Structure formats: C-alpha cells, structure tokens
Amino acid sequence: MHAARGLHRIEISSLANTEIQPQIQLKTAAVVLKANESKITPLSGTRDVIPEGRQIYQNLFSFTLNVAKPMEIAVYAPLFNPVLYESEFESQLWMIFDSNKAMIACGDANSHTFYTKLEKGEYTIRMQIRHEKREALEKISETNMIALCRLATPLNLDFYAEYNQCIVSGQKFTASLINRNVPKVLYLGPLTQEKLTKANLPNNCCWLTGTITLPKDDLGKRIDVQQFYYFLNPSEGGGKKNGSNGSTNTANSGGGGLAGKTKASNVNTPPAGANAPANASASGGDSASAPAVADSNKKLSIDEYSEGLRDFQCSMLTKLDYDKAEKIHDEIVAAHPKHLSAHLLLIQNIESTELKAQYPFTFAKSLKDNNNKSSNTFDSTNDGTATSTGTDAACGTSSSLTIDDNKQKDDNQKLRNAATTVVRLADHVIKGSDIDVLLAFYGLKHDTRPDAAKIKS
C-alpha cells in the first residue's frame, strides 16, 4: 500500500462461508543505507585461488548507521539475502562495529529475521562479496543495505466497508460473514501524521512492514498470515540525514530512531531568553513564573560564558611564556578544580621550551659537564707553563670558574624545578582520573547485558 495514493482497495473472497475479522499490524520500519565506500581488491594468492590459478576478488562495502536511541535492528542486503548456495556470488558476509571498533553482530543470508539490540551511537557496517570475476563485482558497486527497526508498539490500519466512510474516517469495519464465491470489498485509510509521530519512526524511513490476517478464529489467524508493506511519503519518512543515506532534510519528521530526531517546532522559533518578557506580560496570571524562567536562562548563559572562558584560557596555555601560563593555569584550577586538561596543557608548555632538549638525561648530563670542567682545571694548574704566570693568572682562572659554576647551578635548579612541576601536574591528572571508568570503557568490547551502556558510562 502506497500512502501517497490515499485509499487502498482490498477484495476478499472465500471458498466457503467464512467469518472474517481483518487486522493489519505494522511492526518494523525500514531504512535504506547507501554505501560510503566500495573497494574491489584481490584476495590472498595462496589461499583464495581456485584450481588452475584463477584469482578470487572481493568487493568490500562500508556503511554508516546512526542510532539515536536504543532499539532492536536487523540488517540485510536485499540483493543477496534471499539466496545462499544458489547465489551467483561465492559468499556474503557483513559485520557491525561500534565506535570502539568492537564487533557487535554479523550475518550473511536470510538475516532479516535476526534482530540485535543496539545502543545509541554511530555504527559501521562492513560487507564482503566475493567472486572470481572482477567485472561482476563492479556491477554491484551501488548495492544498498536495509536496516529494519522494530517498533516499540505496532501500528494498526483501519478497515472501512464503504468508500465514503473511508474518506471521512467514519464507521470502521470490524467483522462480517462472507459467503462462498461472493467477493467482499474493503477499504484501507492511510496512517495519520499523529500516529507516525507517536511511533517515533527512524529518520529516512522508507516503508513499514507487518502482517495482515483475515480469519476471525485464532487457528485461522495462526495459519493464514501474509506480509504487508506500507510505503511512506517522502515527508513522512524522517527529516535528518543519516550519514550513509543521501536523502534531503524535511520538516515533517516522524520522530527519531536512527540519525537523531527532527523537531518541526524549532523552525523560526526565537531564543527563550529573548521572548520571555513578552510572554510574561501577555500571559496575565502566569506572569509570576517569568522571573524563574529568566533566572534559568541567565544561569545557562553564565555557565556557557564560564565554559567558553575556560576553553579560551586553556587554548592559550601552550602559546604564552611559562610565567604567564602558570598564572592562567592557577586561575583555571581555582574556577574548575576537576578540569584535568589544564594540567596537561601546562605540561606541554614546559616540554615545548629549550629544556626539553636535555630530557631525559637532564641531571646526568649536568654532572658530566661538571666533571669535565673539574678535570680540565686540574690539568691546567699542574702544567708548568700555566703555573709560571704567577698569582694574577691563578686568580683570573678561579673567578671564571666560579661564574661558570654559579650559572651551571642555576641551570640545574631550573631543570629540577621544571621536572618537579611536570611530576606534580602528572600526579594531579592521575589522581583526578577514574581508573575504574577508564578500564571499563576500554576493556569491554561488547557487553550483552541490558544495562551495558550504564556500566560503560
């Protein structure tokens, strides 16, 4: 049934007198995924070779799937899904990876009935198709995949016995007895926009799938079950672009399951802070709630200002001199004690100076220089030509050595202070980091428990 055609006519006939109670339930929403990349490459020359030296090639597809809220999704390639051993191509295999490159699910043929619970996030689907002829793989480079999203509550279509009643959404058809070889004509009305909005359809949804049953008795409903497809209008299938889908944005979105939600009420709406006084003065008795709204908006703007100022100060930590950067660092830590990025940026400022050239052997190098200078002084004082110059030469040598020693001590102290500061800042970062959260986030590849998202966060 096409929603754009409005009404849909159904003619029912039976081989015997039968009592009917037709019912249509739409349970899944279909989203078309277009390939981001299609790459044809030869496989291994030692393993993937047919006898007589015939090389096998692969066409590796990449798709992007954006899930705006947790839901059950089944993925399949309609071009290859119905066949397995009878397929022209040697194999089909697809895998779903999350943002951490952990494999979530995989499948091949007839995978449209296997649903996987996906949490909110962006997923990558990679599909491999193999064939010995490169030309055959080039012809399927524009292959699409379908993502079936299971709806939280099924959608029901209404039946009408008369054409005019269907137009005005009048009296609905419930049940009737049809005689043998006497056709019964019924009419189906389209789904209203209100039903589609409440169903929270995924964006870029193309059609809805479900089942249609005609008999009234329970045994007949179990036996006589047919597939039913409801094709949506372009404006009803969702509004926001889905990473891999090239359809354009529309304002009449049906909700958000994939690639986020689109709200039509946001169009041409001024900021809340700008129209709060006007709404308060025009609402009469509700004017007492205006200060609370204004305070919340003011608080939000102050928080945004403080965060923007903090980010700007952090961006300047690596660009200024160390003395100025240290003052800014102290201001950031005083205002935001848990902002660990400030410590890391100050460490980068210290490491970007000329002191970095002497790491990691800072103190060993300074001691080596002192030993070399002391040995040179001992050799010069024991030399006969050097000692024959008298007391004035000895005094000049000792004074120059004293100046060099003081300079070396100052340099060593600067290096020691810099290294101590780096260690202190690193300790702050380590102590402020939640080790359990980091281990849970990077250690879990895929947790099948229903509260896996809460455990990771």
SS3 for 118?
A: strand
By C-alpha distance, which of 347, 361, 353 is closest to 424? 347
**Higher pLDDT, residue 104 or 449:** 104
CA angle 9, 10, 12 (to 5 degrees): 155
Task: Report, at the CATH architecture level, how domain 302-370+406-456 is classified.
Answer: Alpha Horseshoe (1.25)
- Give, in order, the Cα–Cα distances in Å from 433 to each of 44, 349, 375, 438: 45, 21, 49, 8
Distance CA 1, CA 347 (A): 65
Contact 108, 91 (CB under 8 A): yes
SS3 for 408?
A: helix
pLDDT attached to residue 372: 58
C-alpha 85 chain-centroid distance: 36
The token pair at 132 is 């010995």
Confidence of residue 242 (pLDDT cuts 50, 70, 90): very low
Lowest mean pLDDT among 164-168, 194-198, 305-309, 374-378: 374-378
pLDDT attached to residue 411: 76
Q: What is the DSSP string of 198-248?
A: HTTPPTTEEEEEEEEEEESSHHHHHH--EEEEEEPPGGGS-SS--TT--PP
* Residues paired with residue 54 on neighbouring β-strands, in sequence order: 50
Query: Would the pLDDT of 32 be above 90?
Result: yes
Confidence of residue 262 (pLDDT cuts 50, 70, 90): very low
Per residue in 369-422, pLDDT (tens digit) is 555 555 555 455 455 444 444 445 445 555 666 777 777 787 778 788 888 888
Lowest mean pLDDT among 120-129, 247-256, 345-354, 440-449: 247-256
* Residues paired with residue 74 on neighbouring β-strands, in sequence order: 148
- Mean pLDDT of all residues in the chain? 77
pLDDT attached to residue 446: 62
Distance CA 234, CA 242 (A): 14
Per residue in 54-99, pLDDT (tens digit) is 888 999 999 999 998 889 999 999 988 888 888 888 888 999 999 8
pLDDT attached to residue 218: 84
What is the location of CATH 1.25.40.710 in the chain?
Answer: 302-370+406-456
Distance CA 103, CA 97 (A): 4
pLDDT attached to residue 284: 42
* Residues paired with residue 29 on neighbouring β-strands, in sequence order: 149, 208
- Give, in order, the Cα–Cα distances in Å from 153 to each of 25, 57, 73, 116, 252: 10, 44, 15, 17, 21
pLDDT attached to residue 247: 38
Contact 30, 237 (CB under 8 A): no
DSSP letter assigned to residue 2: B
